[in-house]
Structure 1
Amino acid sequence: MNKTIINRSPLVLLCLIVNSVFAQQIIKGKVLDENNQPIPAAVVEIKGLNSSVLTNEYGSFEFEELAPQAYSVKASSLGYQSQIKKINLTKHSNVLTFRLVETYENLNTVVVTGTFDSRKQLESSTSVSVLNNDELSKLVPRGTADLLRNIPGTFTDASAGEVFTKVYSRGVSASAEDDLGWYYTSLQEDGLPVSLMQHSYFGPDLFYRSDVTTERVEAIRGGSSAITAMNAPGGIYNFISLNKTESFGGQAQLTSGIQGDNNAYHKVELALNGDLGNNWFYNVGGHFRQDEGARNVDFTFSKGGQVKANIIKKNDSGYFKFYAKYLNDKTNRWNGVTAKNWNNPTAVYGQDFNTTSQLLPSINASIPDGRNATGTSYNSFNPSQGVLAKDIVGGFDFSQKLGNDWNLKNNIKLSHKSANWQTTISNAFVSLSNPLAYFITGAGFPIGKVVFKDANTGATLAQVDNSGSLAEEEKDRTFNYIDGSLPNDALLGAAGWYKDTKATEIMDQLVVNKKWENHNFNTGLDFGYSNTNHYTQSSFVFATYENNPRNMVVTLENPGEPVIALSDKNGVSNYGGLIFEKAEATLFQSAVFVNDLWDINEQFQLDAGLRFENIYHKGDKYRAEPFSQAGGFDGDSQTDYDNGLLRPNGTVDAFDFNYHYLSYSLGLNYKVNSDLVLFGRYSKGNKAPEFDYYFNNFTNVPIPKKGEVQNIQQYEFGVKYDAKNFYVSATNFISILENIGTTNFEFDGTNGTIFYTPTQYNSSRTLGTEIESMYQPFDFLRFNLNGVIQDATSNDWTIYDAGGTVDTSDDSIVRFDDQTLPFNPSLMFNFKTTYLRDNFYTFFDTQYMGKRYGNIANGFELPSYFTFDLGAGYNFTKNLELSVNVTNLFNSDGLANFFGPNSFGGNANQATPEFVTNNPDQNFIVVPILPRGIFAKVNYTF
């Protein structure tokens, strides 16, 4: 018996050892966030087994008594994207580390915009929002403004495309209605403005493109922007670039899609980062894009890209960063579409809200350069170019601790910008019975037999007897076809717009920070310098009035008389005779600021700041006169298209004005508990005039005085609540604006003069409530709701009525007090549902834009509309993701803008209630939102 026991003992011992090993197999590890901070109460489960645990306060977890086989382990937590890791148990201890990516930005996110230091959203007495990298990666924005429509409470008009856009909030909008859509707001890149200077067709959105080099977007609506931004009291939209300091990584992304009528879109993006050793790090990337356009044109609408880079040196006291950008991008902007029916706008003349552009086709013309007094140089003109924007940027940013709780930060940037516009302005209906169709050429007396030929084929399209167009009464004016016909019996009232602007800029912000006891004190300096030269000329272009206009060569062929050319071979006429603007200017901008964040006790926090700003404008504006020479510019009496060229007449109007003002802001936070905060803020901001005040006004007259500084008061009271699976930020606000400068773009048909009316100074008041919220009942399902309810009205408002002529004897001033401010909806909101499960996500986004008046007269109301976006993505591996996005899923016919009655040089304010009542069949110009786009995106993470 003893022998039996002895013989069996090795087998028993082996079984005991094996059983012991099997019984004690474990998996343990940690669940961390992207900043390596523990995530407590995260759920960790082994798929296929009914086994799950919660992480402790240190983010740790452990499973015991597991069989030695392969497992899939999933970690999840509300507010984070779930992650699965596979493991094969081959040893006693198996360790897993999960790093979960946030699926939403909660109110504990640290922000740097609208403040001189870093602080959590929950602790900031401002309305600040964040779009993080995860959210940005799920979007396919068609331009900067299109991306910012995801910011709560922000009105964006991206109907023109990537540029020529509008962005504002809280009724701080009146001077941003025309072609300075960023008038009150600061578009920033890494904490400094993209551009210091704005004027007609020269705004900051020309020089910024978002791509995978953008880490996040921070946005502040009003409030403390009065003391933290340079001449931008209406808000800050700060695009923050990648600043990773880790081992090699990055991502490559390819986006392809179709828009509108199956027009192609392609974009390639790349971002790389890595460690150079000795605490030096680099980030480099950029993109290249080719876009056929959301609407139909006969040329590539957008083409170009950018390269960005930074090099960072970290030390024990902070960092030093060198950065650079080169942008070289050609894009364009969309004109409006003709509609009828004031109560229910419907496209007419065979046009379509989704596909019609009415941009002139590609040509290669040479137009005399009006800047040259001797008249020996030419400007190449091709309206398919749109705007060629270039920006060369270099900068140096550093932050260093100086000891004893002192910190010094400085960011300086140099840039050289250029914007060359060659595009189409106006797409008005000009009847062949209208004498303007012929006299706008600048010709002497273009009456008789007029012949229209296709500029590309040379085929005769029509011969017209226009002698009946000279009848005194408009109702009696006629024309007769001698042969053929033109579409819709009309010309496209279009002008060739050439604008050449260059600016060299330097800007710097210095901040000194000191912390002691309960105070966080900041003081510093802002400095900006911009030197610019600016030139604009415009010429008439003969084209057919149809969806895809054709340029026409036009001649006057009266029997027995010489043939007179009313256009050149491309259809261009009245060379440089419609508009002339030539100016050089310098901007000096400086500010001193102080700000103190005082922790009064554990619950109360006071945030107070002052900013004294000085802005100096100096420059010269040149007067013009027609080129005076027999036979016009070329001396040939049979070419009547070059008789009106405008050039300097030798008189220069100088301006030399200084603007200075004090802005201040006072905010109070009350911390009810760790999750609930109440806040209030009063801000008194100011807005100095932009250079459009000098460039657009005072045509051929002295500049009599400086512009008025707008005064902007803003009141805010809000609540912020942040729970584990829910957050909400709600803000009540009042905005009061005074000294709002407004002017109209006008055309005098009797002499072909385009001009701006004298500036009127007005006031307005807006009150409302905006909300930003998120609810995530399960780790796989999230709901976002944000929006604004507001009432925006004029207090004391006048419009200068030029009577349709440049002659001041028929002018008048019309009052529009207590009217609803145009382009400010009483309600707009976004509701987004997101589903996330393992490696898959999908979202459905509903956006509502309420009714908006198209002018201060409240004569025409743009209808409300919904748009719907759909997206989905799947991670095939931890590196490879494929996604699909559909914007404007149902091709909604939303209208974003209104240009007034369909007439050459018409403007929105002409459509008063009386005008609409008296002209029920009048056509008018509206600008639709962008049509549907379908995009597929492949992203590979290194």
Structure 2
Amino acid sequence: MRFRSACLVALLSGTAAVPAYAETGSDAETSSDAAATADSAPAPAPTPKAFTTGVAKGRDLLDTAISASTLDEHDLASLSVSSIAGIMQNIPGIRSETSDIDGFSAITIRGLPLAAEGSKFLQLQEDGLPVLEFGDIQFAGIDQFLRADLTLSQVQAIRGGSASTFASNSPGGLINFISRTGETAGGLMQVSSGLGHDLKRIDFAYGSPLGDGWRFHVGGFYRTGEGPREIGYTGFKGGQFKANVTKDFDGGYIRFYAKYLDDQQPIYGTAPVTITGTDADPQIGFLPGFDIRENGYASPLTASYAEVDRNNNPTLIDGRDGLAAQVKSFGIEAQFDIAGWSVTNRFRFSDVSGEYNDNTPFVTAPAPFFAGFGGPGASLSYAAGPQAGSAITDARLLALSARIYADLESLDNVTNDLRATRVWDAGDGKLTTTAGLYSARQDIAMFWNFTSTLQDIQGGGQSAPVNLTAGNGLRLTDGGTLAYGFAVGLPFGIYHNRYDVDYDIVAPYGSVNYQIGKLAIGASLRWDKGQVNGQVFSANFGGGRVGVAPIDVNRDGQVSVAESRVAILPLTQPAPVDYDYDYLSYSAGVNYRFADSLSAFARYSRGGRASAENAIGTETLNPLTGRPTDPAVQVSVVKQAEAGVKFRKDGLSAFLTGFWASTDERNFQITANASGQAFVVPVNRTYSAKGLEFEGEWRKGPFAITVGATFTDASIDKDANNPAFDGNTPRHIPDFAFFARPEVALDKVTFGAVINGTTKSFAQDTNQLVQPGYVLVSPYVQYRPADGLTVALNAFNVFDELAVVQIGAPTIPASGIANVQVMNGRTVTASLRYAF
């Protein structure tokens, strides 16, 4: 399933004004901290960086048989984005569909399919442990619970390779967001504000040694404002606070850390546009007064609506809560030496909850079309706003919307990763052995609700709900609500579900690596075993379960037509969940370092990915046994082969990797028919992709440029449900994507740009309608009038490019209207930062 829309643009442009530096630490940690002198120095030349993510022991990338990337503080400061998914657009091999809000993104790697929202094959970590065990929980994308701010030191990404054996559920790759830990004394204070839009933000970070081996770091941010798209209310509100304290001692360290995140953002859902031309060359335009680059589909007049909660009791849902995330976490990380072994243990408990509030136009048409829902003589009128009660007699455009609400009651998780590594003398070489044990528990307690409403389409946050009245005067809607469930197109109570499930995971793993001279050979193995227990409530399991009832939802003392059939949960008839799964992952590679500046590698890997609630939906779970009806849905397997060369000398570095990846996918996804109406289809396919990844950097004096590119040839190899798809290209996978970051750093002024581009792709798997490619140019300028003080200006998408992220139709509809998700238009942000 997939309900997606466009996300938000760059607002941490102040970080685009914050060059800083990274230091490589021990095997178990890589962090850095701001110093007051960072503002005036040019970017450093590429230097050997110890890469610690998804490997047994931190090493220079030229000594590892993996394809990996590192974004350090200077790299992060150059980006015109602040979201997690936006940052990942600047890593080769990653396909990240976002408009720069955290969450509600679709992320994949090396051409693996985008069948669902979130990140199925790519695991996201924070300081070496997963944010969530599963990256594609419906309505709870993994990046929703992670934020980038001035506490972030480094981003390390490994594509394929040993990612599958050094972390669970990461067969495609692994991205680790690493925090600063206070090695050097210094702090930052930054304020930023949108120019031409309402969004204000303050960031801070400070760390320092304390003496006697102790050091600390604290930091965070707070923001508020409507945002870069007009919605008529404060859409962004909240922030986070992070703190850690470390004690260093001979042979290791111990660290205590905590995070508090409470933040909400608007969801810029898919919105209607005009679409003409041909499938091969579509021309996308805007409805009158509704440029979706600048306007959201939300409005104060449509934000709140009545519904029932997880216990079938009437409640009021406030859509202004948007995409909300609350995280309270505490962790301990330690490294120490025992009898020649370097032992590392990471532990974290996270209390995670949130909300998902979306408003997606399901059908867009002239008003008389919807008047027809009420039969002969039916009429339409405004239900709220300045025109409340006024009749709609013309053919203005209205929309039947799907209001999607998910209460993410508990996504709590507790994780522990214990490993021990030792280097042995073995003949003329060195043998490195690692043994580890990973254990985790992930809760999924959540409730979904869908509501059908009528509203008009207006920009400026002025959209209003619309009532439908039958010819005999009988009101068929409640304040714009047509049905407390799906009104058309899908079964009435479908996806009205409640989950209360626990996942217990244990995974022993180990690796060996032998290095002799310039040659290194290694292999690793991991066995994941999971136990899943709990229950699911849904009338769609059948067996006499009742899924509708008359309820006075709006509590006005009477049951209206719309209230006569309200989707409810069979609270006394849950379906049990009780099953086990296991899978084996392995990886083997060889690396040869021809010279200090040149190496080459090759690797083959196999990794597994356990399914979360997709395996226990009403379409997949046997409500009698508590097990998925098809055991194959429990785990997807990814196989990858790769080979590459790495070069680094003086101010030049260049990494080139060729790859092949394949997977099987059993899932459900939202697609659309020729008229643009959405529906759900089961997916039972095998996919494969091959391609090239390139990443390079050149620095000389004040000049610097970083570039990356990915060529991908992806294919649906076999579709068990619809052989007509065999050989087609998976949707939203372009042949070519690239980024570039040129920069000139002078004494008091730095200027540069972030350029992201992609070629065309297909809107859907039918390979009919082409989704246009785009190039986004986001320049920035930084001025340092005094020591420690930086003033910056950033313009995201300065040329106001119409950048299409997805089109919700397989071909141009006869109506000429389709739902489209796009990036934001030109968005300018100014910032002031002080380093001390």
Superposed CA deviations along residues 625-677 of structure 1, whole A, max 9, x for unmatched, are 34434988969666222122122233322222222111111111111111110
How far apart in 2 are the matches of 1:195 and 1:149? 21
Identity rate, percent: 22
- Spell out the pairing of 1:308-323 with structure 2 (5 A cutoff): 308-323=242-257
Cα shift at 1:104:
5.1
Tell me what 1:829 maps to.
Answer: 738
- Spell out the pairing of 1:300-315 with structure 2 (5 A cutoff): 300-315=234-249
How far apart in 2 are the matches of 1:424 and 1:160? 19
Structure 1 residue 718 corresponds to structure 2 residue 656? no
Q: How many residues align?
A: 776
Tell me what 2:506 maps to.
Answer: 590
CA contact (8 A) 1:159 1:928 kept: yes
* 3-state DSSP of counterpart to 2:612: coil
Tell me what 2:283 maps to.
Answer: 345
- Spell out the pairing of 1:632-651 with structure 2 (5 A cutoff): 639-649=560-570, 650-651=572-573
Superposed CA deviations along residues 485-541 of structure 1, whole A, max 9, x for unmatched, are 3523x3343435343432221011101111111112111011110123111112122
How far apart in 1 are the matches of 2:768 and 2:97? 20
Cα shift at 1:313:
0.9
* 3-state DSSP of counterpart to 1:146: helix
* 3-state DSSP of counterpart to 1:679: strand
CA contact (8 A) 1:105 1:131 kept: no
Tell me what 1:182 maps to.
Answer: 119
Tell me what 2:716 maps to.
Answer: 794
How far apart in 2 are the matches of 1:742 and 1:190? 30
Counterpart of 2:478, as a letter, is D
Cα shift at 1:150:
1.6
Q: CA RMSD in A?
A: 3.0
Tell me what 1:850 maps to.
Answer: 759
Q: Structure 2: where are the runs of 5+ without partners?
A: 1-20, 26-34, 487-491, 540-545
CA contact (8 A) 1:542 1:554 kept: yes
* 3-state DSSP of counterpart to 2:319: coil
CA contact (8 A) 1:283 1:309 kept: yes
Tell me what 1:653 maps to.
Answer: 575
Tell me what 1:380 maps to.
Answer: 316
Cα shift at 1:723:
0.7
Q: 1:409 aligns with which of 344, 352, 359?
A: 344
Tell me what 2:361 maps to.
Answer: 426
How far apart in 2 are the matches of 1:887 and 1:721? 32
* 3-state DSSP of counterpart to 1:567: coil
How far apart in 2 are the matches of 1:861 and 1:364? 33
CA contact (8 A) 1:195 1:203 kept: no
How far apart in 1 are the matches of 2:115 and 2:553? 38
Cα shift at 1:891:
0.9
* 3-state DSSP of counterpart to 1:134: helix
Cα shift at 1:735:
0.7
Cα shift at 1:841:
1.7
* 3-state DSSP of counterpart to 1:642: helix
Cα shift at 1:704:
2.6
Counterpart of 1:138, as a letter, is S
- Spell out the pairing of 1:91-170 with structure 2 (5 A cutoff): 103=43, 106=46, 108-159=48-99, 161-170=101-110
Tell me what 1:230 maps to.
Answer: 168
* 3-state DSSP of counterpart to 1:763: strand
Counterpart of 2:142, as a letter, is P
Tell me what 2:455 maps to.
Answer: 543
CA contact (8 A) 1:486 1:544 kept: no
Cα shift at 1:230:
1.4
CA contact (8 A) 2:78 2:754 kept: no
Q: Name the structure, 1 or 2, with higher relative contact order (CA <8 Å, separation 6+).
A: 2
Cα shift at 1:877:
3.2
Cα shift at 1:450:
2.6
* 3-state DSSP of counterpart to 2:268: coil
Counterpart of 1:448, as a letter, is G
- Spell out the pairing of 1:879-894 with structure 2 (5 A cutoff): 879-894=788-803
CA contact (8 A) 1:381 1:498 kept: no
* 3-state DSSP of counterpart to 2:743: strand
Cα shift at 1:857:
1.2
* 3-state DSSP of counterpart to 2:455: coil
How far apart in 2 are the matches of 1:317 and 1:253? 37
Instruction: State which structure, 1 or 2, has the greater radius of gyration over its C-alpha atoms.
Output: 1
Tell me what 1:512 maps to.
Answer: 420
Tell me what 1:391 maps to.
Answer: 327
Counterpart of 1:357, as a letter, is G
* 3-state DSSP of counterpart to 1:542: strand
CA contact (8 A) 2:506 2:528 kept: yes
Cα shift at 1:925:
1.8
TM-score by length of 2: 0.87
Structure 1 residue 876 corresponds to structure 2 residue 785? yes
Q: 1:192 aligns with which of 103, 107, 129?
A: 129
Tell me what 2:4 maps to.
Answer: none
Tell me what 2:157 maps to.
Answer: 219
Cα shift at 1:229:
1.8
Structure 1 residue 780 corresponds to structure 2 residue 780? no
How far apart in 1 are the matches of 2:555 and 2:375? 19
How far apart in 2 are the matches of 1:450 and 1:150? 52
Q: Which moved more, 1:674-683 or 1:931-940?
A: 931-940
Structure 1 residue 745 corresponds to structure 2 residue 670? yes
Relative to 1, partners in 2 of residues 1:515 and 1:362: Cα closer, same or farther, differing over 3 Å?
farther
Q: Which moved more, 1:626-635 or 1:151-160?
A: 626-635
Tell me what 1:729 maps to.
Answer: 655
How far apart in 2 are the matches of 1:346 and 1:733? 35
Relative to 1, partners in 2 of residues 1:274 and 1:287: Cα closer, same or farther, differing over 3 Å?
same
Cα shift at 1:298:
1.1
Structure 1 residue 606 corresponds to structure 2 residue 514? no
How far apart in 1 are the matches of 2:246 and 2:98? 35
How far apart in 2 are the matches of 1:920 and 1:935? 40
CA contact (8 A) 2:102 2:145 kept: no
Counterpart of 1:410, as a letter, is N
CA contact (8 A) 2:672 2:808 kept: no
Tell me what 2:542 maps to.
Answer: none
Counterpart of 1:391, as a letter, is V
* 3-state DSSP of counterpart to 1:815: helix
How far apart in 1 are the matches of 2:667 and 2:679? 14
CA contact (8 A) 2:186 2:208 kept: yes
Cα shift at 1:434:
4.2
Relative to 1, partners in 2 of residues 1:635 and 1:251: Cα closer, same or farther, differing over 3 Å?
closer
Q: Which moved more, 1:138-147 or 1:890-899?
A: 138-147
CA contact (8 A) 2:615 2:621 kept: no
Counterpart of 1:491, as a letter, is A
TM-score by length of 1: 0.77
Q: Structure 1: where are the runs of 5+ without partners?
A: 1-32, 38-82, 86-97, 440-444, 464-483, 800-812, 901-910
Tell me what 1:574 maps to.
Answer: 483
CA contact (8 A) 1:565 1:638 kept: no
Superposed CA deviations along residues 112-135 of structure 1, whole A, max 9, x for unmatched, are 112122111111111111111122
* 3-state DSSP of counterpart to 2:269: coil
